[in-house]
Amino acid sequence: MISVIVATYQRANYLRTTLESIFDQTYGDLEVIVIDDGSTDNTQAVVESFAECRYFYQENRGVSHAKNLGVQYADGEYVSFLDSDDYWHPEKLGRQIDFFAD
């Protein structure tokens, strides 16, 4: 399993596209962890619209702390990070897993 960690702060307007790109992956053995680093926008509502996400809120402490917290919650054999204003090609994780297997 791959633990995908998305640390976010005030990016609700981008976050849906980010999360959709994770769930559109051809590789499906994933857990998605979103660490909200103190957002005051509707970040929580966006994340909760994806039932498969695990959502955690922390007071604003910075992206590095948020990512480290995500790693603490991760259960996967692999960890991958995705910025909350970015998205992935649908085959990204599958290709990486194939590469690791080779």
Residue in the block written with tokens 């790109």: 21
Q: What is the phi/psi pair of residue 74, to 5°?
A: -70, 140
pLDDT at 75: 98
Average pLDDT in the chain: 97
Q: Are 7 and 81 in contact (CB under 8 A)?
A: yes
% the chain with pLDDT above 90: 100
Model confidence, pTM: 0.95
pLDDT at 62: 97
3-state DSSP helix/strand/coil % of the chain, to nearest 5: 40, 25, 40
* DSSP secondary structure code for residue 46 in this structure: H
| pLDDT score for 99 | 95
Residues of the chain with pLDDT under 70: none
Please tell me the predicted confidence (pLDDT) of residue 57: 98
